[in-house]
Amino acid sequence: MRLYEYPNSVCCQKVNLALAETNLEWEPVTVNLGKNEHYSSDYLKLNPKAVVPTLTHDGSTIIESTLICEYLDEISKEKKLTPDTPLGRTKMRGWSKAVDEGLHDGVADISFSAMFRERMKRMPEDRRQQRFENIGDPKRYDRGKTTFDSGVASPFVKYAVYAFEATFKNIEIELSDGKDWLVEGKYSLADLGLTPYLARLEYLNLLEVWLSSKKYTQSWWERIKTRPSFKKAISDPLTKDEIGEMVASGSKIRDQITLIRDGLPVRNL
Ligand SMILES: N[C@@H](CCC(=O)N[C@@H](CS)C(=O)NCC(=O)O)C(=O)O
């Protein structure tokens, strides 16, 4: 089993968490996003969306981190990451949808406005142009270009803050009856799937913006961080430089993110 991945990528961290929790044997293959390797013709045959992660196993290719995580739990002997009841499994997939339909783009846009934008500014103009031209998908292009041009003032950062606000509100409600984990009181792909997104906000020094007022979510987050999978899949692989860059760049936008959050319409939250 091979995992095509890139360091400090949230959706690769998610799959790494599932691999750590299931104890499956696998081989990592690095796809260097910085060198545009995800646009090489060989990689595009595996993953036509030109993103990491991609899993190959027994001659088959699986893309989409949420599906990869479900697959890994399916093939593991214990299937311990999936709730026991049909309703539990549906609820678990509800949390995955929050990630796939909001938090994933959200964390990418916040991270881009704080950090990758600065890296892209330092790139030679022709390489930066090539990066944008390679994108293909017009929506992904607009997100990248708008946030490159406007930074935290990009509307996509506002959508991101809204997505996190809504999800954090739901997490706090779900845990407020004293449960340890989101679905049926048992650690599952629901908790696992959210983990890299909270971790990224924490490394960017932004998690407090949301968690300072949410005591149940805070304790749940502390529980998640004590799992050996967190150390193995998220904190250990990060280099000092990566952590330093995240903390420094996220701290610079913290006040603006707080202002955006405070100015959100609350009616639909
Ligand atoms: N929905 C996909 C999203 C994959 C994705 O966006 N991957 C990012 C890294 S976390 C990527 O490869 N980005 C490359 C780029 O945008 O150029 C999944 O969950 O697998």
pLDDT at 52 over 70: yes
Element (H, E) at 63: strand 60-63
Q: Is the pLDDT of residue 146 over 90?
A: yes
Please say if the pLDDT value at position 269 is more than 80: no
- pLDDT at position 267, please? 65
Spacing, Cα 221 to ligand 1 middle (Å): 24
The reported pLDDT for the residue numbered 76 is: 96
For residue range 237-268, what is the model confidence (pLDDT) as tens digits? 999 999 999 999 999 999 999 999 999 887 66
Percent of the chain with pLDDT over 70: 99
Q: State the helix-helix crossing angle for 215-225 and 155-175, rounded to 10 degrees.
A: 90
pLDDT cut 90: percent of the chain above it: 90
What is the predicted pLDDT for the residue at 268?
Answer: 62
Contact 217, 171 (CB under 8 A): yes
Above 80 in pLDDT, residue 209? Answer: yes
Taking the centre of ligand 1 as the mean of its atom positions, its distance from the CA of residue 92, in whole angstroms, is 21
200 within ligand 1 shell (Cβ under 6 A) = no
Q: What's the pLDDT score for residue 77?
A: 85
Residue 65 Cβ inside 6 Å of ligand 1? The answer reads yes
Q: What value does the mean pLDDT take over residues 70-92?
A: 95
pLDDT digit string, tens, across residues 224-241? 999 999 999 999 999 999
Residue 60 is classified by DSSP as E
Which tens digits make up the pLDDT trace of 33-45?
Answer: 988 899 999 999 9
pLDDT at 65: 98
2-75: CATH topology is Glutaredoxin (3.40.30)
pLDDT in the model for residue 131: 86
User: Measured between alpha carbons, how far is 204 from 222 in angstroms, rounded to an integer?
Assistant: 17
Helices (H), the chain: 10-22, 41-46, 65-75, 86-98, 104-111, 117-122, 125-134, 138-150, 155-175, 189-203, 207-211, 215-225, 228-230, 240-262
Residue 2 structure tokens: 């091979």
Q: What value does the mean pLDDT of the chain take?
A: 95
Which mutation among 52, 99, 133, 137 tests ligand 1's pocket best, with the greatest number of atoms within 8 A of CB?
52
Per-residue confidence (pLDDT) for residue 224, from 0 to 100: 98
| Residues forming a β-bridge with 57 | 60
DSSP secondary structure string, 103-144?
IHHHHHHHHIIIIIHHHHHHS-HHHHHHHHHH---HHHHHHH
> What whole-number distance in Å separates Cα of residue 125 and Cα of residue 264?
36
| Amino acid at position 155, single letter | P
Determine how β-strand 2-5 pairs with β-strand 27-30: parallel
> To which residue do tokens 């796809």 refer?
31
Identify which of 4, 10, 11 to mutate to test ligand 1's pocket (most ligand atoms within 8 A of the CB): 11
Question: What is the whole-number distance in angstroms between the Cα of residue 109 and the centre of ligand 1?
Answer: 12
Mean pLDDT, rounded, for 96-112: 97
User: Atom 14, ligand 1: which residue's CA is nearest?
Assistant: 51
Task: Return the domain boundaries, the chain.
Answer: 2-75, 86-262
What are the tens digits of pLDDT across the range 149-180? Answer: 999 999 999 999 999 999 999 999 999 999 99
Supply the pLDDT for residue 35: 87
- Our answer on whether the CB atom of 11 is closer than 6 Å to any ligand 1 atom is yes
